Structure 1
């Protein structure tokens, strides 16, 4: 992740616990940001509901789903906040440069960015966390391709990786 520009070496004396959680296939590295999360003040803005996403897509003939690669990590942190994300690994201590998963503000911040970036495309897409769902009411495959092109073009303009 250092080579990908997602975190960098750190010399912070305060590190969050890191451990592995078993998944059906492999494991996931998890950082315990509970203490930092308790100190965060979050906006009182609701997150999207999957039911609203399904309602928006009802009656559509074509559906496509994209996952944004590196999701939350694409939201850059303020330089002064990077040390608060410091973790310890067998290879040394590191701090995140983008918003890490498990930080309580990450989903809200990422979703808010995506809502702004794609606000004029809501008639053909919905966002649910780091997923983009593209749909078209028309049976014409050309309309589907046009909707996908518009969404992917916007991802490219904003350097969002899908």
Structure 2
């Protein structure tokens, strides 16, 4: 990696990202008033972290003082490692923003690309959104309010409704010469795949050269190189096939019995992530989907109870055979049929 050490800095360089002609615009309803909300009360620890992060963002040129009529509040969420992430609540702005319908890649189509590959390298961009500019005439719409003042972003912050679409469009143009040839991309996650080691080194160099050319940077601690097995978008990718991620599978199998329609929605949303592994998923999940029509407390019969969660997930989360198309008709068919019979018998 010494050849491309400049692509893996400890932190993003100070100053604005290069002007690639891809600055994110924020088109809003011209009849709507600029949204603003009161400052949210923060703890002493959160205020200390807020001042620290504001100083870093100001020094880097990622934010600037603002006099905008817009004003979203700041809050904090705790990350897995225990540190605090500063977030801006842009719900008011998002409500009046014209939606960018640029599509995100279908994960099942990305997985299809790995047939025949034996070596994988994964790249994770460093603070991905901050590597794209906000269209200068629209920076005032990103304004946020806090104990220490009123600021607006010069780069794309987290929380904007069109940020994923805008960032994905930028990455499509950056990677266009090699996209779907030996690299796939989902937002700031890139996976390079090859059949031989020699080929893989060439492919890796070509992708890193494109990142360098476009002034994009990756986080070395989250990257992996020349692997025969890797995690990508909730799946474990190997030369022998693709299987579900152990972490997500465990989350589904350990899911407690739902007590509200919101609980059911959350469980179904997670289970549907793996629906490409199962023929007839909608039929299997029907007892659960029917619960969403209930307005008050859940009324679960034996048919729905048996589907939540262990019996259902035990039949849903099976390893996918070596690089078959996700909706191949014979995938898991027998298991699904047996499971439907089991649910019907329980209902009777």
User: How does the TM-score come out when normalised to structure 2?
Assistant: 0.44
Q: Which has the larger radius of gyration?
A: 2
Q: Within 2, Cα distance between the matches of 1:50 and 1:86? A: 34
Any idea what the Cα deviations from partners look like across 1:32-62, whole Å, max 9, x if unmatched?
A: 1111111111233321122222221233111
Higher helix share: 2
Instruction: Classify the secondary structure of the residue corresponding to 1:112.
Output: helix
Q: How does 1:34-53 map to 2 (within 5 A)?
A: 34-53=91-110
Aligned to 1:126: 184
Q: Which of 76, 99, 115 matches 2:133?
A: 76
Aligned to 2:205: 149
Instruction: Classify the secondary structure of the residue corresponding to 2:58.
Output: coil
Aligned to 1:102: 159
Structure 2 stretches of 5 or more lacking a match? 1-56, 219-348
Instruction: Classify the secondary structure of the residue corresponding to 1:29.
Output: strand
Q: Within 2, Cα distance between the matches of 1:113 and 1:56? A: 21
Which is bigger in relative contact order (C-alpha 8 A, separation at least 6)? 1
Instruction: Classify the secondary structure of the residue corresponding to 2:173.
Output: helix
Once the 2 structures are TM-superposed, how far is the Cα of residue 15 of structure 1 from its aligned partner? 1.5
Structure 1 stretches of 5 or more lacking a match? none
Q: Within 2, Cα distance between the matches of 1:77 and 1:46? A: 20
Higher strand share: 1
Find out whether 1:56 has 2:109 as its counterpart. Answer: no
User: How does the TM-score come out when normalised to structure 1?
Assistant: 0.90
Q: Which of 103, 121, 124 matches 1:67?
A: 124
Q: Within 2, Cα distance between the matches of 1:154 and 1:80? A: 29
RMSD over aligned Cα atoms: 1.5
Between 80-89 and 120-129, the greater mean CA deviation after superposition: 80-89
Where does structure 1 differ by over 6 angstroms across 4 or more consecutive aligned residues? none
Q: Within 2, Cα distance between the matches of 1:4 and 1:57? A: 39
